[in-house]
Chain A
Amino acid sequence: METLLFLILFPAVIAVGMLLANQKKVRFAMVTAAAVVIAAASVLLLAVYGMQDLILFAIPSEPVSRILVIIELGLAAYIAYLGLRFRNYLAIALIAVQTALIVAFEFLYAGDLHPVNNLFIDQFSVIMALIIGIIGSLIAVYALRYMETYHTEHPEVRNRQRFFFFVIFLFIAAMFGLVFSNNLQWIFFFWEVTTISSFLLIGYSETDEATRNAFRALTMNLLGGIAFAAALIYLAAVDPAGRILELDQLLASGEAIALIPAVLIGFAGITKAALMPFSTWLLGAMVAPTPVSALLHSSTMVKAGVYILVRFAPVYAGTLAGVSIAMVGAVTFLVASAIAISQSDAKSVLAYSTVANLGLIAACAGVGTPMLVWAAILLIIFHAISKSLLFLSVGTVEQRIHSRDIEDMEGLIVRMPKMAVMMFIGIAGMFLAPFGMLISKWAAIEGFVQAPYGLAFVAILAYGGAVTVFFWAKWMGKLVTVARYRTVVEDGFRQERWVPLYTLTTLVAATVLLFPLISSTLIEPYVFSIYGTTARLSQANIAIMALMLFLLLILPISFLLFRKSAKHLPPYMSGRTTTPDMQFLGSMGVAREMTTRNYYLTAYFGEKRLLPVGTALCTGLVLASWLLAGVAA
């Protein structure tokens, strides 16, 4: 239990320390040391609790709950203040409703509620803690150099780095709290802290766009928060003793009681995981400095959303409301993947791909069979690793070539070879065999085939998967184009930047070999503890995938074969005279440079065309999930 408390409290303490650290040197030392300690503590957590099933910790809910409520009210007042300052009355209205619910809960029920086991740990929480602790820390370290450069490049942005790192560590603390809390009231508290942290980080640059997008993220997440608060009141009304506020008790209480709160909290999960119709807040979050995007997309925020959905998967399993939530995820997966084709901004492609993959996780959780829960947890792990690597890569490239348009990344393999290779591996991790995301998609297909209503999901996966190949592969293609006569611009980055990138790249490859171990020691026992049965891929397939990875690793050796002897010629230009840098004489005697540009197929896959469809469908499905939950209860 000490490790749990340490992981929640230590980042919070560091956060306060960051506010005080007014020197660059001190900040660098503190962030690096804290990152090492947090990562080490999460590994220690694995060593201590990794081999055990659910352990509950009975710590008194008072006065902690009382303190948390007071902090919540303080935060609400802060939001209301910001809402007034920026004239965002919707945010004020939503925070008012939410506060009213919390106050009602406190006055009507809280006195009699006595949840006993307020903290817990099981294998799923260990996995989440590892993701938060290791990837979150790496991103924090990366952010040190990034923010330095960011402020040199953006002199107009007020330098609030102390505040920035304060929020980053607060965020990490809240995430730990969220995955360790068994008391739903506490989960709700940490839930709200992550909402506010992301709001503050998105608005960091204080431009109009940033402020607007920050408020959009805030209002959408407050909407989810209101549903969460409503679920708390519902539970308190059902069981005045408050034992049912404990997550493990609620999950064990059966569909009749648990379905309505599960759907309400699932709605909060949908908003936080930026599924449609709420995907726009995550897209808007791109305005934040890139480490923030990396954090939101990989180890925090959206992962909290899918974490809660996967937690409630056993309640959704076999219910129509669950299928409805799963469909929200599946439609999101398909539509977001398709829109990603039409995007040329690298961060926007990454964002849509995140939305898509969160959709897939939600689809797995909503249907909720053992195989699908297994696949969902694998997706969470692999997505966190690959996506953080990709965001950090894009951030690094952007600071060097001053663009994050994929078209401008042409020939990166020549200009920034190390970055290009890492980005390449990150992208491969997102969609190619034998890497992680593909393994999980494969498991999802096998899982859906055997599930009720599975065919609709299989069909969506078949199309979504094909679309995914298209948008990733054309990005990869741009990276590997060997355009001649480009200069290398890679040197001069400091160690703080390379270490996280190297580590994450290694993790992408290593998880292919390690995932059977992760599965057998953590995921399978968790699934077994819930369902009494478990799932995995067959040994033969795992061996073949290891073989494929091996082949991929040795193939580059063939470069040695090609190095000598070959005669180099310029590309074929239909016999047109070209200079070595691919200039040719166009009409009217004008010299033109040969350029290539990828297909974006906007007429078919444009945002304007598809986003309204996805939004409408998913809104309908969300409403359907409430209706179906109401009918079932």
Chain B
Amino acid sequence: MNGLLGALLFILLAPLLGGLVAGVDRILTARMQGRVGPPLLQPFYDVGKLFEKENVVVTTAQNFYVLAYLAFIVVSGALFFAGGDLLLVIFAFTLAHVFLVLGAYSVHSPYSHIGAERELIQIMAYEPMIILAAVGLYMVTGSFFTGEIAASTVPVILYLPGVFLGFLTVLTIKLRKSPFDISTSHHAHQEIVKGITTEFSGATLGQIEIAHWYENIFLLGFIYLFFGFNPVLGIAAIAITYFAEIFLDNTTARLRWQAALQSGWAAAAILGILNLAIIGYIMGGA
């Protein structure tokens, strides 16, 4: 029952919250760049406008893949907030992104094609670390279920500092922040036109934007799992982390895909595996 409520709240509130976060993001970014920035609600205006645009496609199929992407992002987030199995959440999350990639492939366009492949490279870069994070949470709390992990009284972060740092590294990839925003960027014609989203417009692009809001709330929720023992600290950690990501976004230049892959894999190998090996040793010995 509790789980159902969590899922329902996520489905209803995450877009609102995600849009607000995006609004705050844009204001903070503007301030860091010495600009005033848009109103807080600007992301909602933008998406609202997208839905009023003319329905233009390269191929009809692309709409289907984007809808599937949105649907499975919602499923994975809802499952996460319903207290579901973290591994299943991650797999559903991967499925969602594969749909987005297929949408970009389905249009026979050079720019979205490159974006699609870069998105796949990003998936390949972040997935080991996310799996290891889930395994680490299991090793410390004894459960793969997010409900039980969040309710655990163990100060998880103290056991998994390396895993947490590794997770932050791949979080930059997931939030589409510099230096790892290689598959698409917030503004067109920065590097490879607009990468994976080049050929999407109007309501379809609006759906991608909403999916991204859902996704961000889910990812911020993931941070909370490391701080479940102290909710106040958890909320603070989320705020600080997100601020740090915005700061990083504005102070670094975009790197090549090789760097994204190497960073993601190195984070998993050095921060993730080492951390897990140490707690495995300690807990095995105790």
Interface, chain A (partner B; CB < 8 A): 411, 413, 432-434, 438, 442, 445-446, 449, 455, 458-459, 461-463, 465-467, 469-470, 473-474, 476-478, 480-484, 538, 540-541, 544-545, 548, 551-552, 555-556, 558-559, 561-563, 565-574, 582, 594, 596, 598-599
| Interface residue tally on B, bucketed by range | 35 or more
Other A-B pairs beyond A445-B131, A449-B139, A569-B56, 12, CB < 8 Å: A458-B131, A459-B132, A469-B127, A538-B85, A544-B84, A545-B88, A555-B67, A562-B63, A565-B55, A566-B56, A571-B198, A572-B111
Main secondary structure on A side of the interface with B = helix
With beta carbons under 8 angstroms apart, the residue of B59, B68, B98 that contacts A555 is B68
Q: Mark B128-139, 1 if CB is under 8 A from A, else 0.
A: 110110010011
| Contact of A482 with B132 at beta-carbon distance under 8 Å, contacts A442-B88, A551-B75 already known | no
- For residue B265, CB closer than 8 A to chain A, the reply is yes
CA distance A147 to B101 in the complex (A): 37
B253-268 residues at the A interface, CB under 8 angstroms:
265, 268
- For residue B273, CB closer than 8 A to chain A, the reply is yes
Decide if B87 touches A466 in the complex (CB within 8 Å): no
Nearest CB in chain A: distance from B83 CB, A: 10
Chain A residues with CB under 8 A of B183? none
With beta carbons under 8 angstroms apart, the residue of A480, A484, A545 that contacts B105 is A480
With beta carbons under 8 angstroms apart, the residue of A465, A555, A582 that contacts B131 is A465
**Closest chain B residue to A561 by CB distance?**
B63
- For residue B107, CB closer than 8 A to chain A, the reply is yes
Decide if A556 touches B108 in the complex (CB within 8 Å): no
CA distance A467 to B264 in the complex (A): 13
Decide if B111 touches A470 in the complex (CB within 8 Å): no
- For residue B9, CB closer than 8 A to chain A, the reply is no
Decide if A482 touches B106 in the complex (CB within 8 Å): yes
| Contact of A555 with B64 at beta-carbon distance under 8 Å, contacts A466-B123, A469-B124 already known | yes
Decide if B54 touches A567 in the complex (CB within 8 Å): yes
Chain A residues with CB under 8 A of B95? 432-433, 548
With beta carbons under 8 angstroms apart, the residue of B109, B110, B117, B280 that contacts A455 is B280
- For residue B171, CB closer than 8 A to chain A, the reply is no
Nearest CB in chain B: distance from A21 CB, A: 45
Chain B residues with CB under 8 A of A548? 72, 75, 92, 95
CA distance A208 to B117 in the complex (A): 38
Decide if A446 touches B71 in the complex (CB within 8 Å): no
CA distance A544 to B76 in the complex (A): 11
| Contact of A433 with B94 at beta-carbon distance under 8 Å, contacts A442-B88, A469-B120, A470-B120 already known | yes
Decide if B98 touches A469 in the complex (CB within 8 Å): yes
Chain B residues with CB under 8 A of A458? 131-132, 135, 276
Decide if A566 touches B138 in the complex (CB within 8 Å): no
CA distance A483 to B61 in the complex (A): 12
| Contact of A563 with B123 at beta-carbon distance under 8 Å, contacts A432-B98, A477-B101 already known | no
| Contact of A469 with B105 at beta-carbon distance under 8 Å, contacts A445-B87, A455-B277, A545-B88 already known | no
- For residue B58, CB closer than 8 A to chain A, the reply is yes
